[in-house]
Amino acid sequence: MVSVAIFAIVMVIALGSLLAMSESDRKAQTLKSVINNLNFSLESMSRSIRYGSSYHCDSSQTPLSATRDCTAAPATSFAYLPANAAAVTVYKLETSNTALCGQPAARVGCITRSVDGGSTYSAITSPEVYINTLNFYVTGAQSVGVQPKVTILLSGVVTVTATQTSNFNLQTSVTQRLYDQ
C-alpha cells in the first residue's frame, strides 16, 4: 500500500512536470514563429531598400520623386524607387487601421508597404507583433558623392499568449548598392 502511494505521488509529479514542459515548448515555438516573421519582414524591407534609389524620408512630404534626408528628426515613413519598378514603394507605421493590421482596436501597430506609390497598403508583420515605434533616418540622399544610408529603428511587443508578451528593440542600417557619381 505504501509503495502504491509513493508510486502515485511520483507519477502525479512527473505528469505535472511533463505537462508544464509541453506548455513551455508550445510557447517557445509560438515565440520563435513570431520572431521569424519579424526578422523576415525587416530583412525583406532592408534588401529591397538596398537595391533602390531616390530615397525619400517621410512620405507625407511631397513630391516623392525628389530625394529627402531626415538626419535630425526621424520619420515614420520612407519612400524610394525600387530597382526594377516604375512605381514608388512606401513603408510606414500603421497605427489606426485595425483591419489592415489584424489587431484589436485597443492596440494597433504594424509595418505596412505600398508598391503603388502610397495608394494601397498591406501589412508585412503578423498580427502577433505590435509595433510601437518605426523610425527612419536618411542621410546622404540629397548629397552628391555620398552614398545614401537609411537607419531603421524598430521597437514593439510580441504576444506569445494572452498573458505572456516580450518586448523587442531592433536597429539596422542599409546603404544603397548603386554608386552615386
Output the pLDDT for position 154. Answer: 92
Separation in Å, CA 59 to CA 55, 78, 154 = 10, 6, 18
**Tell me: the pLDDT tens digits for 9-40?**
999 999 999 888 988 888 888 778 888 888 89
**Tell me: the pLDDT tens digits for 85-103?**
778 899 999 988 888 888 8
Rounded-to-integer distance, Cα 70 and Cα 135, Å: 10
Angle (CA) 143-153-158 rounded to 5° is 160
Rounded-to-integer distance, Cα 177 and Cα 181, Å: 12
Rounded-to-integer distance, Cα 66 and Cα 141, Å: 9
Residue with cell 534588401: 47
Output the pLDDT for position 68. Answer: 79
- Where the chain has pLDDT below 70, the residues are 59-65, 179-181
Amino acid at 94: E
Output the pLDDT for position 180. Answer: 57
Output the pLDDT for position 61. Answer: 60
Q: With CA atoms as reference, report the closest residue to 70 among 131, 132, 134, 135.
A: 135
CA-based torsion, 107, 109, 110, 112: positive or negative = positive
Output the pLDDT for position 93. Answer: 92
